[in-house]
Chain A
Amino acid sequence: RKEVEQDPGPFNVPEGATVAFNCTYSNSASQSFFWYRQDCRKEPKLLMSVYSSGNEDGRFTAQLNRASQYISLLIRDSKLSDSATYLCAVHTGGFKTIFGAGTRLFVKA
């Protein structure tokens, strides 16, 4: 079993749609959780950190469920510019960060 698993993509949604991505992790000692955005042929950039209390940044909401070892990202009112690959990342007790395979999102007009 992979340490970090994400929903297989791609997701094709119309502008204005709400889309949710899920991610599970296997190491219960994991300490920090993140969502990164990666545009085609570019480096990943931090989108949001994920906290147990949940956090929101504009149209983006991230949630963490430690009991189920599950992370989610919700994007509301999708824009064309949201088209990208979204990577779930887990910072483990071994002081390293493990990434999921990524979920590709296509938002169409």
Chain B
Amino acid sequence: ETGVTQSPTHLIKTRGQQVTLRCSSQSGHNTVSWYQQALGQGPQFIFQYYREEENGRGNFPPRFSGLQFPNYSSELNVNALELDDSALYLCASSPAPGTTSNEQFFGPGTRLTVL
């Protein structure tokens, strides 16, 4: 069974640029959630995708957007990068929403640094 994978591992961008982060879900999972973890903080929910549709969004501006593909992999896109976007971005996969416990399995994360 393949776990959740994310790419790239590390990324350095400058303010104003755009970035795309990628995530492959665990085998058998059709739901992907994205979280932002700033240094010294707990992860904050960005949004969730289920069957290629957004299924909930946290308190993040529209310049944070996402996609889910038919194979359930997902992308997180951030436009007009700001210094405060520097963080570890975590992807988590889970079975369909509404299943008990909503246990989410996390990938290793992408460390984004905005200069």
A, B in one complex: no
